[in-house]
Structure 1
Amino acid sequence: MPVQRSLLGRPFPPMPPKRVAVLLSTIAVFAVFTLVFTLPNSIPSGPSLGRFTDHKIPMPKLPKTLSPSILNPFRQAAHAPPVQKNSTSGDASWYSNWNWMSPFSSSVTLDENRSLLPPLIDRPPIYTYYDHTLQKEKDHKDAENAVLVTWRRAWWAQGFKPIILSPAEAMNNPLYAELQMQELEPYLKTELARWLAWENMGTGILCHYLLLPMGSHEDPLLAFLRRGEYPQLTRFDHLGSGLFAGTKGDITAAVKQALSNKALKEAGDFIGAVSPETFKIDPKHGALAFYDTRTVKEKYSKIADEIENDGPSGLMMLNKLTISHLHTTWQNTFSKGIAVLKPQADHMTAAILPARKLAEFLTQCPSSPLPSSCPPNNPHCKPCVASLPLKITTPSVYRNTSDLYTIGTVPHPFTTALLSPLYDSSESELTIPWIRRKSKRDPWLTTITAELCGTGMSGAPRVVKFKDAVASQYGTAHSLWITAERDMPDDLDWYFGFTIPRNVTDKGESETPVPGPERKPNVSSGPRTLEPEVTEEEASLMKERALLKRAVEFGQARTPEDEKLRKAIEAWNLADTEAWRFARAFLERSRVERKRWEEEERKYAGGKAGAERGMSEGWGRWFDDR
């Protein structure tokens, strides 16, 4: 039974709930209007309440100039960091900063096309001495120059800055006049001039150009030398005058001690001219290979005989031997082979073809005058056998394995979309609605980081993992990352530290014999075909090449509509775009760094010592059939 309500003893008529709600709302609105418009005017004197009734809540205003960042376009516009010197190359530009592990570069650079890279690591200088002023035959100088090029490449690839010193640096030393007053044997005088040139430069490493780093990038000795801090003047046991490391103060003291030695004429070399306490002798030098006269005679007598009979020819043989040993050491370091990343197994064959060919070149056995020989520091190495080359795999994911080398091809999102199995170029053009409705986000990076990050992680942490694989010290020594739309770099010999073979050698496998007349097909039994039938695999590869060519042309010249499409696909694939730009900028910066160093070094040692002089064959024609 409903409750009967009353007012002043009289029963109150029942009212529907809807009418109650309307009544209460009317009363509330009337009360608010009365309070706002009537209360201030009813106060005759005293402080006015107008400042309360006239108060307006400030509304946030959008900035007139929006930020260029896609990640946060409503952020207040700010000045981008200043452009650093030598930070552009072609379309690639970068900004070096300690915050390089940020997932997206634009959050720091405020520029979508500017990649955030790690600061360049200081390369400690390593010096060698070569007297280019001596009169020698051209072929002899060419042979010595080839040896110097090999020395420079090997040490550059290990993270050092190889510098060739000449008599000019020795003569610039104030102690050179004192050396000239000494009547010494030519060999000892050259040794002292070598030390004067080193003392003129200061702290660093003095190395003979026949001593090469023959070990992994993580070797403790090489890591120690890369730090550039040498507490004591150090030489290495059984290496003679092959390698020294020290500070300028210790070097100066040693040189002065040698020049003041009254028995200097009787000293055979610089080590014999100073007291034994001058040097700290390090017995561990497993990553250093010294091809001095004694070692060559003991281990490689064939080459030693050739040097005695024909100096230039013998030196060229020795240089070829050292290159083969550097290559063999690299192959022994990556015993599990080479992984050529192929995220989309059925649609990335053309895109990864240059990487695949490079892997084939790296697995070839280098040309050597002594094919089964080992470096002097590693007599138990595993020489390359043509019938058992390193294994080449094409996994879809990146694996962080120390004895597996990775070559990755990073495509632009537009290239990935063209090669996607979801896109059929014969039916429609690539459009923004297709990108938004049918294409997946960041498919390339999601695939290669599937084992590292799983399947449920967003793009930002995947980018961080990718950057570490590309640009960390460990990553640069265990992988190479190129972009799909650009040619293979022409300076890969410097990246690996040895001359990469450009030929495909016989693997020792038997081939099907050529059919004889009795096994030839009967051409008269049917119509004669003028062209061989194209297989499905060949047709697919031809289609991929055409699409890849279209992607390259799209990146070179774009109409306003193409530019709109490019921005849309980059915005839809932020992580893939960041990975592509980062890999492109990192490889370009490495090339710019080396070119700058080469330009600087051309001013010294006559401008010819250690120059390649067209020795490198380049890489252009090896990948024309992509």
Structure 2
Amino acid sequence: MCFQRSLFGKPVPNLPPRRISVLLSTIAVLVVITLVFTLPSSIPSAPSLGRFTDHRISLPALPKKLPSPSILNPFRQAAHPPPVQKNSTSGEAKWFSNWNWLSPFSSSVTLDENRSLLPPLFPRAPIYTYYDHTAVKDEALKEAQNALLLTWRRAWWAQGFKPIILSPAETMNNPLYTELQMKDLNEQLKTDMSRWLAWENMGSGILCNYMTLPMGPQEDPLLTFLRNGKYVKLTRYSGLDNGIFVGSSAAITAAVKESLANKQAMNTTTDFIGTINDKEVDEESRTFEVDSKPDSIAYYDNKTVTEKYSKIAKEIQDDPAKGLQALNKLMISHLHTTWQNRFSDGIAVLKPFPEHMSAAVAPARKLADFLAQCPESPMPASCPPNKPKCNPCVSSTPLVISTPPNYINTSTLYTIGTVPHPYTMAVLSAFRDDIDVRWIRRESERDPWLTKLTKLLLGTGVSGAPRVVKFKEAVAGAQEMYHSLWVTPEKDLPHDLDWNFGFTIPRNATDRGKSETPVPGPERRPQPESDPRDGPVATPEEFKKEKDLLKRAIDFGKARSEPEEKLRGAIEKWNLADTEAWRFARAFLARSRVERLQWAEQEKKYAGGSGAERGKSEGWGRWFDER
């Protein structure tokens, strides 16, 4: 039975419950708004109670005007992103170079979620060598010299320099070339004078023989000084003879003119230094400043090779091409040994979640095995000429390889980090590929990879932003970048990592001096030893499933349907710090390759392409099938 309500004798229409709720909610909102805007102004001012208490708390004064009127406004107008820089894209990797690169999240500066903020590229100081590619030689000798030039370029590039090969073209471009041609010089002196004219044509910088290699850490004081690119005096180094010189443009020009004017010395000497009369003048007036012999530079001149590596010297005398190839192998082995001696604590292949990450870090582990093995050498027990008391690699005691879960910032440990995309991390940690948004929000942790990685450095009670900053410093810091390599599991390792380390990386496993059961059956072979601190090792069945899940993650990143696109967006938003770390590592490695490839392409036009890589380098892909 229905009841008719009335107000003042007049019937009131019946309202549904939903409309009554809406009406009451509207009234409540209006009341709150009225109180907020009218109540503060209606309260009379009263004396402060602060003077009646003994405790005074001084609050920081807020600025009357914010730096940007709309910085805290979530509805602020859209701003144009910074202009796209030249050569800032490689595949899906995008970057923007800026001094503000340590901002936790790149999108706050780039206004583009897919463009990473990287530190500006430091200017590489040019270092020059001279090679006459026009001289008549047999092909075998040319190939041997080209191999030496390639080793020279790799070694100096890895140290942060821009190696440039000069040729007679630069000599003939010098205005003093005509004066040189008018002089009757012996062949050795003429070649050395041509080298100096080519260098003077380029201006200030570093001139060295391509038998001169850096054999020391990047932090070495001399190498740091050379990288700065600021040279005032013309300097040579005791014990290196014609190995390396540094100087300003004015000092080089003055030395060349002094040499050409010394007619008497032209008939008695065979090198440029002999034409400079530094012995007859006081120290302040000398053309060259002579510094002490450096510990970080190795010079493989004829005298050194004869005294220290007589076996190689004899091969060069018997067959120059074959002997120079052997010398090149010796130099590469010394570069590799010097690198190994730097990292006395070994190589750390980071594995924050060891349960199901074996397949993801397999390429990094294989690279570590190659770096830890003893290099091939015609004289295995020998040391570089600048470090006669080095520790030669012995197969029975190889470099230690560990797989710790946390990043350790120390200069005696080389780190190889594998940075997974949050989706890759999710499918591997969950050990299934049917994850959805519900699983992400309710079961997965936020930024698990970066949290575990930086646990020793920052502890547990730290948000993602400072962890990202610490990670970026580990990847691209001025010193840290020489102690680590960061890759992503979704792509194969670059095939040109030799340029990153400065020597040819062996690509074959060698004997480590441990005996194995001489039977073909893998079930009877000794199982690989593992450090209990490194966590569990995947069984063959688990490793196979990990490979399948990793392939699923790689395919997911290439082409996605609309539901998969939403899933990727959800997992990236849930793991902002992990996503930022993945994009940063991917972009930093891609930019390094773009920088080198552009330089290599440009240098092909000069010196007849000398020092270029011959043929196709062997890649690093498909390592997963080796297990």
* TM-score normalized by the length of structure 2: 0.84
In the TM superposition, what are the counterparts of 1:175-574 in structure 2 within 5 Å? Answer: 175-263=176-264, 264-276=266-278, 277-420=286-429, 423=430, 425=432, 429-514=434-519, 537-574=539-576
In 2, the alpha carbon distance for the partners of 1:431 and 1:381 equals 55
Give yes or no for the alignment of 1:169 onto 2:170: yes
CA distance in 2, matches of 1:138, 1:326: 26
CA gap 1:321/1:424 in 2 versus in 1, 3 angstroms: closer
The structure-2 alpha-carbon separation of the partners of 1:615 and 1:279, relative to structure 1 and needing over 3 Å to count, comes to: farther
Give the secondary-structure state (helix, strand or coil) at the position aligned to 1:251: helix
Helix, strand or coil at the partner of 1:127: strand
Q: Is the 8 A contact 2:110 2:116 kept in 1?
A: yes
Deviations 1:408-444 (A, max 9, x none): 0000000011011xx2528xx2111110111000000
Per-residue CA shift, 1:378-416, capped at 9, x if unaligned? 000000000100000000000001110000000000001
Aligned to 1:578: 580
Find the residue that maps to 2:103 and give its secondary structure.
coil
Q: Specify the code of the residue in structure 1 equivalent to 2:448.
A: P
How far apart are 1:625 and its partner, in Å?
4.6
Residue 357 of structure 1, CA deviation: 0.2
Counterpart code for 1:400:
N
Structure 1 residues 497-541: Cα deviation after superposition (integer angstroms, max 9, x where no partner):
00001111111212235499xxx9xxxxxxxxxxxxxx9811111
Distance in 2, Cα, partners of 1:331 & 1:540: 33
In structure 2, relative to structure 1, the CA distance for the partners of 1:72 and 1:100 (3 Å cut) is farther
User: Which residue identity is paired with 2:199?
Assistant: W
Identity of aligned residues (%): 67
Superposed structure 1 runs of 4+ greater than 3 Å apart? 71-75, 513-516, 621-626
- Where do 5+ consecutive residues of structure 1 fail to align? 1-28, 37-66, 521-534
Cα distance in 1 for residues equivalent to 2:417 and 2:519:
38
Shift of 1:606: 1.2
Query: Deviation at 1:284?
Result: 3.7
Residue 622 (structure 1) shift: 4.4
Q: CA offsets, 1:65-123, max 9 Å, x none?
A: xx9x9x99644210000000000000001000000000000000000000000000000
- 1:616, distance to aligned residue in structure 2 (A): 3.1
- Output the TM-score relative to the length of structure 1: 0.84
Cα distance in 2, alignment partners of residues 90 and 273 from structure 1: 54
Instruction: Show CA shifts across 1:445-479 (max 9, x none).
Output: 00000011110000000000000000112121100
Change in Cα spacing, 1:536 to 1:174, as seen in structure 2 (3 Å) is closer
Change (3 A) 1:370 1:515: closer
Q: Deviations over 1:155-190 (max 9, x none)?
A: 000000000000000000000000000000011001
Q: Which has the larger radius of gyration?
A: 1
Unaligned runs of 5+ in 2: 1-30, 39-69, 279-285, 525-536
Check if 1:592 corresponds to 2:594: yes
SS of the residue corresponding to residue 387 of structure 2 reads coil
**Structure 1 residues 72 and 566: CA distance shift in structure 2, 3 A:** farther
Give the AA of the match of 2:506.
P
CA RMSD after TM alignment: 2.0
Q: 1:400 to 1:268 in 2, by over 3 A?
A: same
Q: Secondary structure at the match of 2:267?
A: helix
Q: Distance in 2 between matches of 1:424 and 1:475?
A: 33
Change (3 A) 1:424 1:136: closer
Distance 1:72 1:349 in 2: 46
